[in-house]
Structure 1
Amino acid sequence: MTGAVVYLVLGLSLLLATLLPHITRRVALSPPMVLVGVGLAIGLLPMADDVNLRPEDNHALITHVTEFTVLVSLMGVGLAIDRILDVRSWRSWRTWSPVWRLLLVAMPLTILGTMLLGWWVAGLAPAVALLLGAVLAPTDPVLASDVQVGEPLTEDVAEAEAETEDEEEVEEDDDIRFSLTAEAGLNDGLAFPFVHLALLLLAGGFGLADVGTWLGWYVVGKIAVGLVVGVGAGWLFGRQAFHARNEKLRLADAGEPLLALAALLTSYGAAELVGGYGFLAVFACAVRLRSSSRGHSYQRAMHGVVERLERLMTLLVLLVLGMAMTQGLLEHLDWRGVVVALALVLVVRPLAGYLSLAVLARDEDEEGGLDRGELAAVAFFGVRGIGSLFYLGYAASHEHLPDEPWLWSTVAFTIIVSVLLHGVTATPAMARLDARREREAGTG
């Protein structure tokens, strides 16, 4: 594929990606669905035969591209979340109740369920089955935009909305989207301990004495380091942007939104340098930066820059994913992979999510509480996405993986199933829930 053709295809695809959110807003068709279809069409062109898209031959490229895409997504998610998390307030922690339940209960259950499917249905070795579960554990609401929060609410936006909407109604509207968005922001990092455990098992020599090391360092230590670095970086960048003594250094007043990218790269690099989980650090940095001056319009400017970069990176990954499907990405898919993918999307995640949220559920009238319809929506819309490609690429770069071609085909098929199913159902489901919420607010 010549350079001129590449530029032409990318330019037209970027135009399509810009128009799609507006065109598909009211229909059951998500932009990711269309972009994968465009990738399929490009892959069928004769010129695409010159490009090697076999995952086994491109471990490093896949890992780095998807890694940066996930990082940009995490920064955007953290900057968009309006709900405050005050570590000194138990009430504040409780408003995040659905998120903690999804992370501490639903995610381990999903990993366990997928692992059992990989071992029992697909006949994988236990370590490979565990890796499959960990790879498919992270969720990614970016691929179903109707179930993620929108732009950050700043003072200028809040004043405009107050003229047409009840403030309480706007806050209520966020529960489902907040839960799914915050879950995705945190579980991209929390899946890492299980990926490392699978790699340690594959490397051999993992005994009972190593369990303590794994729990102490990979589960507790690296998570803590990542969070501390992220919060510290967010505090420093927030102080510099909003509260610097020298007005010339106060970037919030100057309106320079590239600070968000500087914070992303710095927090990730610092966390990885000292051994922490960089994904968690980026999300924590973004949340802390968001809280520095919550109502400032600069928050919206930073989110806008990150969102556009995120859209570009997602466009690239989805186009290549579609092209790879025509180049043999799914050639190793068999009935076992189909069963694993469908069971995960239709049974394992919805059941694990429902159990985590329904048992000893928080009162639906309180902030962070979900009624039955909202609970079902949160449980169902666990979208699989780009994070899964990163984790599999990361694992394949660090250890020889038995059944690697089958793993790539199965993970790719799972993402496609999720993009199609959740993309078709997200718009009508959320519209129905929003309409019901408006009716209840009108009669309340």
Structure 2
Amino acid sequence: MDELTKAPDLYIILLTAGGLLIALVAWLPLVLKRLPLSLPIICILIGCAAASTPLIPFDPSPLAHPALAERFTEFVVIIALMGAGLKIDRPFSLRGWGVTWRLLAITMPLSIAAILLLGHYGIGLSLAGSLLLGAALAPTDPVLASDIQVGPPKGGGEDQVRFGLTSEAGFNDGLAFPFVNLAIALSVSAATGEPWFTDWLTYNVLWEIGAGAVGGWLVGKAFGWLTFHVPGRSALARTGDGLIAVSATLISYGLTEMAHCYGFLAVFVTALTLRAAHREHDFHREMHDLTEQIERLAMMMVLLVFGASLMTGLLRPIGLSDVLVALAIIFVIRPASGLLAMIGSGMTRGERAAIAFFGIRGVGSFYYLAYALNEASFGEAKRLWGIVGLVALLSILIHGLTVTPLIRVLDRSHGREPDADEQAAVPPGGQIGPSGNVGKVAD
């Protein structure tokens, strides 16, 4: 009888929790589709609830597990970048991607500069810590911004707002890295007195960006040929197995990181190049759908832990001034820099406002901060995690609650019925799958 009262093993608890998590991954998007709620909000709430029970017998804080925090968030981001690149229907061009270049060349640098100034002169962070805060919080997150991104390949609905935010999230994760590395260089230089500018410019900027883009293009070309154009009947597309996209993601990231260049940039370029190899092929849908499922499952795990961390003191080191800075980042810095970038773009006022407002922060910010803190010593580590955690939480709550109603209003203002593109994309004998994507009904 004693066995009946014995507490279950942690392994059994994790198996059960994993089963529930997978069920939620499949089911919640259907429930939340037309509600002013988002999957990330639900995940955080579950994590907060779990932290209030004996189910988590360890400290979930990223400060307690720095290596794990870095690696797991890294994995989620690269999977998200592959999915983002595969679902963009618009061919790559300098002119056609004008909104992207505006966001990268104007919005992101202005955001980094403004956060740096607020952090250093407003709340007394070190110069290196303020720069790290700006570099971590300037990029739009490719993981949590999925609700405002374009639909699946050939799914329609690729308007300027959705395209701009998707392409921005794909490229800016790679382009924020030089500023993260600059913060690391400044921190190391402050401790050792070593010069940093030449190495940072030639290696972290010129080499890592250039080689990352070229490396991603080469891997994408190789996978494009193997998937769609290999002679005979051996093309990978004939497998019908979306794991090919995961393979391309890991190989692109691994090879470019071994070459000491930016793997995030490389993965997104690989995805764009793979999509361009045969833009209209249905196999892109299979690859996208699988990466989306993996991304959502991994994202939910990160946010469950994030929710638990909130309950165990992640935000404890911050004060009122830090809260005000976090609010300024969400409501002032990103919207203002986004609106400035859209001047002369030819978009309507509503489109400009939507792109400026929906610069969602989240998992990518966690990765940049974890990476930098593992590479160099920052005296404000706990405070930086608190500020980044608060900005991510505010972004998830504010953007998650507003994205569905505001985008539906924007769609109607342009004469588009919300969800019309998705319904039109359902083929005969098809159905909307668990992620909101189209899938075939089993015979």
Q: Structure 2-normalised TM-score?
A: 0.89
CA distance in 2, matches of 1:188, 1:142: 11
Q: Which residue of 1 aligns with 2:441?
A: none
Tell me if structure 1 keeps the 8 A contact 2:77–2:142: no
Q: Which residue of 1 aligns with 2:6?
A: none
CA distance in 2, matches of 1:222, 1:207: 24
Any idea what the Cα deviations from partners look like across 1:386-430, whole Å, max 9, x if unmatched? 001101110111111111111111111110000000011101110
Q: Which residue of 2 aligns with 1:60?
A: 67
* Residue number among 235, 242, 245 corresponding to 2:228 in the alignment: 242
Q: What is the identity, as a one-letter code, of the residue corresponding to 1:237?
A: F
CA distance in 1, matches of 2:52, 2:195: 52
Matches within 5 A, 1:124-273: 124-153=125-154, 170=156, 173-204=158-189, 210-247=196-233, 249-273=234-258
CA distance in 1, matches of 2:46, 2:209: 38
1:291–1:114 CA distance, 2 compared to 1 (3 A)? same
Tell me if structure 1 keeps the 8 A contact 2:361–2:395: yes
1:217–1:141 CA distance, 2 compared to 1 (3 A)? closer
Q: Which residue of 2 aligns with 1:37?
A: 45
Any idea what the Cα deviations from partners look like across 1:353-382, whole Å, max 9, x if unmatched? 110111xx133xxxxxx2111011000000
Any idea what the Cα deviations from partners look like across 1:69-91, whole Å, max 9, x if unmatched? 00000000010111101xxxxxx
In structure 2, the residue corresponding to 1:70 is in which secondary structure?
helix
Q: What is the identity, as a one-letter code, of the residue corresponding to 1:278?
A: G
Q: What is the identity, as a one-letter code, of the residue corresponding to 1:356?
A: A
Shift of 1:327: 1.4
Shift of 1:436: 1.1
CA distance in 2, matches of 1:46, 1:144: 32
In structure 1, the residue corresponding to 2:33 is in which secondary structure?
coil
Q: Are 1:384 and 2:369 counterparts?
A: no
Q: Which residue of 2 aligns with 1:7?
A: 15
Shift of 1:18: 2.0
Shift of 1:65: 0.2
Any idea what the Cα deviations from partners look like across 1:77-114, whole Å, max 9, x if unmatched? 010111101xxxxxx31111111010111001000111
CA distance in 2, matches of 1:319, 1:84: 36
1:399–1:207 CA distance, 2 compared to 1 (3 A)? closer
CA distance in 1, matches of 2:184, 2:146: 33
Q: Are 1:306 and 2:288 counterparts?
A: no
In structure 2, the residue corresponding to 1:193 is in which secondary structure?
helix
Tell me if structure 1 keeps the 8 A contact 2:77–2:143: no
What's the C-alpha RMSD, in Å, of the aligned pairs?
1.7
In structure 1, the residue corresponding to 2:70 is in which secondary structure?
helix
Q: What is the identity, as a one-letter code, of the residue corresponding to 1:419?
A: I
* Residue number among 260, 264, 267 corresponding to 1:282 in the alignment: 267
Q: Structure 1-normalised TM-score?
A: 0.89
Tell me if structure 2 keeps the 8 A contact 1:14–1:315: no
Q: Are 1:328 and 2:305 counterparts?
A: no
Q: What is the identity, as a one-letter code, of the residue corresponding to 1:284?
A: V
1:329–1:236 CA distance, 2 compared to 1 (3 A)? same
Q: What is the identity, as a one-letter code, of the residue corresponding to 1:435?
A: R
How many residues matched? 408
Tell me if structure 2 keeps the 8 A contact 1:66–1:317: yes
Q: What is the identity, as a one-letter code, of the residue corresponding to 1:78?
A: G
Matches within 5 A, 1:103-122: 103-122=104-123
In structure 2, the residue corresponding to 1:57 is in which secondary structure?
coil
Q: Which residue of 2 aligns with 1:434?
A: 411
Any idea what the Cα deviations from partners look like across 1:277-323, whole Å, max 9, x if unmatched? 00000000000000111111111001011111001110100111011
In structure 1, the residue corresponding to 2:30 is in which secondary structure?
helix
* Residue number among 311, 331, 345 corresponding to 1:362 in the alignment: 345
Q: Are 1:315 and 2:288 counterparts?
A: no
Shift of 1:132: 0.7
CA distance in 1, matches of 2:41, 2:175: 27
1:406–1:240 CA distance, 2 compared to 1 (3 A)? same
CA distance in 2, matches of 1:326, 1:210: 39
Shift of 1:13: 2.6
Q: Are 1:292 and 2:277 counterparts?
A: yes
Q: What is the identity, as a one-letter code, of the residue corresponding to 1:94?
A: R
CA distance in 2, matches of 1:282, 1:65: 16
Shift of 1:207: 8.2
Q: Which residue of 1 aligns with 2:387?
A: 410
CA distance in 2, matches of 1:319, 1:36: 5
CA distance in 2, matches of 1:204, 1:60: 23
In structure 1, the residue corresponding to 2:410 is in which secondary structure?
helix
CA distance in 2, matches of 1:175, 1:331: 40
Q: What is the identity, as a one-letter code, of the residue corresponding to 2:127?
A: P
Shift of 1:274: 1.2
